Structure 1
Amino acid sequence: MSLQERDKKHIWHPLTQHKLHPDSLAITKAQGCILTDENGKEYIDAIASWYTCMYGHCNPYITDRVTAQMKQLDQIIFSGFTHEPAVALSEELMKILPDNQSKLFFNDNGSTSVEIGIKMALQFHFNKGKKRAMLIAFENGFHGDTFGAMSVSSLSVYNGPFEDLLLDVKRIPVPNGENHEVILDQLKTILLEHEVAAFVYEPLVQGAAAMQMHDPKGLNMILKFCKENGILMVADEVMTGFGKTGKYFASQHLETQPDIMCLSKALTGGLLPMAVTSCSQEIYDAFYSDDIGKGLFHAHTYSANPIACTAALASLELLQSTEIQNQIAKITASHRAFGERIKAHPKVQSIRQQGIIFALDVQVETTTYGSLRDELYRFFMTHGVYLRPLGNTIYIQAPYVITEKQLQKVYDVIEEALEIL
Structure 2
Amino acid sequence: MSLEERDLKYVWHPCSQMKDYEDMPPIPIERGKGVYLYDIYGKEYIDIVSSWWCNLLGHCNPVITESIKNQLDKLEHVIFANFTHEGAVTLCEELVQVLPKGLTKFNFSDNGSAAVECALKMAFQYHYQTGKPEKIRFMYLSDGYHGETMGALSVGAMDLYAKIYKPMLMDTIQIEAPDCYRCPHGKNRKTCQCQCFIKAEKMFEEYAKETAGIIVEPLLQGSAGMRIYPPLYLKKLRSLCDEYDVLLIADEIATGFGRTGKMFACDHAEITPDLMCLSKGLTGGYMPMSLTVTTEKIYHAFYADYNEGKAFMHSHTYSGNPLGCSAALGVLKVLKEENILQIAQKNADYLSKRMNEEFGNHKNVGEIRSIGLIHAMELVEDKGSKKPFDSGLRVGYQVYKEALKDGLILRPLGNVLYFNPPLTITPQELDKAIGIAKKAMDTCLTLIEKN
Q: TM-score, normalised by structure 2?
A: 0.90
Query: CA offset at residue 223 of structure 1?
Result: 2.0
Is the Cα–Cα contact under 8 Å of residues 397 and 411 in structure 2 kept in the other structure? no
Aligned equivalent of 1:47 = 49
| Residue matched to 2:368 | 351
Distance across 2 between alignment mates of 1:215 and 1:120: 28
Deviations along 1:179-231, whole A, 9 cap, x unmatched? Answer: 1223312321223xx51100000000011111111122122212210111100
Aligned residue in 2 for 1:390: 413
Residue in 1 that maps onto 2:91: 89
Counterpart selection for 2:427 from 404, 407, 413? 404
The answer to whether the 8 Å contact 2:204/2:244 transfers is no
What is the aligned partner in structure 2 of residue 5 from structure 1? 5
* Cα 1:108–1:367 shift into 2, 3 Å: same
Query: Of residues 316, 322, 327 in structure 2, which corresponds to 1:300?
Result: 316
Counterpart in the other structure of 2:265: 250
CA distance in 2, matches of 1:310, 1:24: 31
Q: Which runs of 5+ in 1 are unaligned?
A: none
Q: What is the alpha-carbon distance in structure 1 between the residues aligned to residue 137 and residue 317 of structure 2? A: 30
Aligned-pair CA distance for 1:7: 0.2
User: What CA distance in whole angstroms lies between the structure 2 residues aligned with 1:184 and 1:304?
Assistant: 38
Q: Is the Cα contact below 8 Å between 1:133 and 1:168 reproduced in 2?
A: no
- Write the mapping of 1:196-215 to structure 2, written as runs, cut at 5 A: 196-215=211-230
Q: Could you say what secondary structure the match of 2:257 adopts?
A: coil
Aligned residues of 2:145 and 2:157 also touching (Cα < 8 A): yes
Which residue identity does 2:277 align to in structure 1?
C
CA distance in structure 1 between the partners assigned to 2:393 and 2:172 by the alignment: 29
Secondary structure of the corresponding residue to residue 309 of structure 2: helix
- Match of 2:332, as an amino acid? L
- Is contact 1:369-1:391 (8 Å) kept? no
C-alpha displacement of 1:404: 1.8
Question: Between Structure 1 and Structure 2, how many residues are aligned?
Answer: 419
CA change 1:417–1:320 in 2 (3 A) is same
CA drift of 1:2 comes to 1.6
Question: For residues 228 and 221 of structure 2, what CA distance do their matches in structure 1 show?
Answer: 6
Matches within 5 A, 1:317-356: 317-341=333-357, 342-356=359-373
- 2:404 is matched with 381
Residue 332 of structure 2 corresponds to which residue in structure 1?
316
Q: Which residue of 2 aligns with 1:221?
A: 236
Supply the AA of the counterpart residue of 2:369.
Answer: R
- For structure 2, the 5+ residue unaligned runs are 181-193, 382-387, 446-451
Moved more, 213-222 or 352-361: 213-222
Cα deviation 1:34-83 (Å, max 9, x = unaligned): 11112111101001111111111111111111111100111111001000
Identity value in percent: 39
* Distance in 2 of aligned mates of 1:411 and 1:9: 36
Q: In structure 2, what is the equivalent of residue 130 of structure 1? A: 132
- 2:60 matched to 1:58? yes
Code of the residue aligned with 2:177 in structure 1: it is: V
1:417 aligns with 2:440: yes
Mean Cα displacement is larger for which, 174-183 or 264-273? 174-183
Shift of 1:162: 1.3
- Give me the whole-angstrom Cα distance separating, in 1, the residues matched to 2:82 and 2:94: 22
| Aligned equivalents of 1:266, 1:184: Cα separation in 2 | 33
What is the alpha-carbon distance in structure 2 between the residues aligned to residue 292 and residue 8 of structure 1? 52
CA distance in 2 between counterparts of 1:182 and 1:12 reads 41
Give the AA of the match of 2:5: E
Is 1:149 the counterpart of 2:143 in the alignment? no
1:31 is displaced (CA, Å) by 1.1
Using the alignment, how far apart are the partners of 2:262 and 2:232 within structure 1?
17
Cα distance in 2 for partners of 1:181, 1:37 equals 50
- Scaled by the length of structure 1, the TM-score of the pair is 0.96
**2:20 alignment counterpart:** 20
TM-aligned CA deviation for residue 369 of structure 1:
5.0
Residues of 2 paired with 1:402 and 1:4: CA distance?
A: 29
**Equivalent position SS for 1:386:** coil
